[in-house]
Structure 1
Amino acid sequence: MAKPLEASRLVQILRDEGLVVHEYKEWRTHNRNAKGAWGPINGVMIHHTVTEGTGSSVELCYTGHSSLPGPLCHGVIDKKGEVWLVGNGRANHAGLGDGDVLDAVANERKLPPDNEADTDGNSRFYGFECINLGDGKDPWPEAQKLAIERVSAAICRTYGWTEKSVIGHLEWQPGKQDPRGFTMSSMRGRIAKRLGRDPDGPPAPPKYEPFPGASFFETGRSSKIITAMGKRLVAEGCGRYEVGPGPEWTAADRKSYAAWQRKLGYSGDDADGVPGRTSWDKLKVPNV
């Protein structure tokens, strides 16, 4: 019986496989364990989101929606091939699927047709949502497919599984078509090749924008740094934008940054929306 990985172990194996990993909000304790079992684990399931845009897609997968609470997966793979971890434990991604498929995955046999929905998959599979509209036209960048390969290989490598433990949602639940745009047989071929060699090792540490000083953030300032800051605020759930974020420093940026300061525990004049060095360093705005 394969036990679920501890959060810290999951982060480590993904980074060791060469992936850039983002830990989103309180993902380490975010799960649906109160609603059912989590484990034993039998495999990895790949999905597409039917959305576009990293920030909104990651937030949707973290929070869920009115008819299906989050997390909706364990990780989101964006178009750049970076992984955003959004859940640790049972997640609402697989739903009911074919018990014969689960048996085949568990025993690494050829997959039978998925013609029944009689078995809970949320307890048995790690789920990764890949940002794609799923219309057959939205492209799958090579960086994104490489990340799917790496994510799957990292987990299979850890458990001693082969590529046969990786399936698509369309192979599990009748009526599903995800992931649409590449075949799972071709992806399993890629995973098999990767499992035949050593992991790539951790990627180079990400580089972040140094604090430009509080005076940088003034009305009329326009900079790519402000856009990058706004995207990070959105990713942290602090974005207060009706449009954007964009390169100009606006009241919406200030309101968003104030929300970030309050999230860090600041209040009153210390949460005035003007970046300070400590809060800026914690936001980790990527180099632009």
Structure 2
Amino acid sequence: MATPLSASAVLAALRAEGVRVVEVGNWRTHNRNSKGSWGPLNGSIVHHTVTKGTDSSVRIVRDGYADLPGPLCHGMIAKDGVVHLVGWGRTNHAGGGDPAVLARVIAEDYGDRPPKPTKGNSNGTDGNARFYGWECENLGDGKDPWPKAQYDAIVRVQAALCRAHKWTAKSVIGHLEWSADKVDPRGFTMVTLRADVAERLKHPASWSPTPPKPPTTPAPAPKPPTVEQQIAALDKRVTALEKRT
């Protein structure tokens, strides 16, 4: 369990991890704290937005809907890898989830994934009090691509939180791993994401993977001279010898 980071502390942690950040309006005080507690925190949840377009996605996760007021997360990770911070404090992102999952995340003692959730929004534990939440710009249809810059930013954001709280990557889960009602994120697996977060945590926050060098094509071997070329070379040698005598 951990005390939530302050707005200034999370901003510093994200920037130290190499995350490009945009601060949206009054994000530091924009929250749902009047509706319930925020903390102690036990982890971070990754979501997808089911929206298209960065500006509209930011607006939706900041303001919410008529039946679900915003903020709907703490930050929205855009296709270009920029993280738009929209709220800090309690947000409407996790909803109800499985207490058995929460227990395994707190203990960080599960295998490659936590137990499959059997409870959801209507009968589960309040996840808005227990998790950071990050919406990622994607249609959520399993076809919309996840650009490299965006996926790298997702990894960096989760690593920044884990590093700040001294958590392992097992404190990072997907919404589908928290609630039986949810399917997000779609398009990559949380097993892979946790592995990438764990790898990043082995290095300093400033670390960036070295891209592989493109393979070099060896120079082609010289072709042997043709018969005509050999005869011509021999004629030149004979001519040169004749001139000496």
- The TM-score, its normalising length taken from structure 2, stands at 0.81
- Amino-acid identity (%): 58
Match of 1:133 in 2: 139
The one-letter amino acid paired with 1:159 is H
Match of 2:108 in 1: 108
C-alpha contact 1:15 1:201 (8 A) present in aligned 2: no
Match of 2:61 in 1: 61
Say which SS state the counterpart of residue 40 (structure 2) adopts.
coil
Q: How does 1:132-171 map to 2 (within 5 A)?
A: 132-171=138-177
Shift of 1:201: 7.1
Q: Give the root-mean-square deviation of aligned CA atoms.
A: 1.1
Shift of 1:112: 1.1
Corresponding position: 1:27 with 2:33: no
User: Cα deviations across residues 139-171 of structure 1 (Å, max 9, x unaligned)?
Assistant: 000111100100000000000000000000000
Mapped to 2, the partners of 1:67 and 1:120 lie a distance apart of: 18
Shift of 1:175: 2.5
Match of 1:40 in 2: 40
Mapped to 1, the partners of 2:118 and 2:37 lie a distance apart of: 24
Say which SS state the counterpart of residue 133 (structure 2) adopts.
strand
Per chain length, whose mean CA-contact separation is higher, i.e. which structure has more relative contact order (CA < 8 Å, sep 6+)?
2
User: Cα deviations across residues 188-233 of structure 1 (Å, max 9, x unaligned)?
Assistant: 000000000001279xxxxxxxxxxxxxxxxxxxxxxxxxxxxxxx
Mapped to 1, the partners of 2:20 and 2:207 lie a distance apart of: 11
Mapped to 2, the partners of 1:16 and 1:176 lie a distance apart of: 32
Q: How does 1:247-258 map to 2 (within 5 A)?
A: none
C-alpha contact 2:200 2:207 (8 A) present in aligned 1: no
Q: Which runs of 5+ in 1 are unaligned?
A: 203-288
Q: How does 1:224-243 map to 2 (within 5 A)?
A: none
Corresponding position: 1:186 with 2:192: yes
C-alpha contact 1:76 1:131 (8 A) present in aligned 2: yes
Mapped to 1, the partners of 2:162 and 2:183 lie a distance apart of: 23
Match of 1:208 in 2: none
Mapped to 2, the partners of 1:98 and 1:185 lie a distance apart of: 19
Match of 1:81 in 2: 81
Shift of 1:124: 0.5
- The TM-score, its normalising length taken from structure 1, stands at 0.69
Say which SS state the counterpart of residue 28 (structure 2) adopts.
helix
Q: How does 1:193-212 map to 2 (within 5 A)?
A: 193-200=199-206
Going from structure 1 to structure 2, the CA distance change for 1:80 and 1:55 (only over 3 Å counts) comes to: same
Shift of 1:137: 0.8
Mapped to 2, the partners of 1:4 and 1:158 lie a distance apart of: 10
User: Cα deviations across residues 254-275 of structure 1 (Å, max 9, x unaligned)?
Assistant: xxxxxxxxxxxxxxxxxxxxxx
Q: In the comparison of the two structures, how many residue pairs are matched? A: 202
C-alpha contact 1:36 1:90 (8 A) present in aligned 2: yes
Say which SS state the counterpart of residue 41 (structure 1) adopts.
coil
Say which SS state the counterpart of residue 193 (structure 1) adopts.
helix
Write out the 4+ residue segments of structure 1 that deviate beyond 2 Å after TM superposition: none
Mapped to 1, the partners of 2:19 and 2:119 lie a distance apart of: 35
Which residue, 170, 179, 189 being the options, matches 1:173? Answer: 179
Corresponding position: 1:49 with 2:55: no
C-alpha contact 1:17 1:199 (8 A) present in aligned 2: yes
The one-letter amino acid paired with 1:189 is A
C-alpha contact 2:19 2:156 (8 A) present in aligned 1: yes
Match of 2:92 in 1: 92
Mapped to 2, the partners of 1:109 and 1:25 lie a distance apart of: 39
Say which SS state the counterpart of residue 84 (structure 1) adopts.
strand
Corresponding position: 1:124 with 2:133: no
Say which SS state the counterpart of residue 45 (structure 1) adopts.
strand
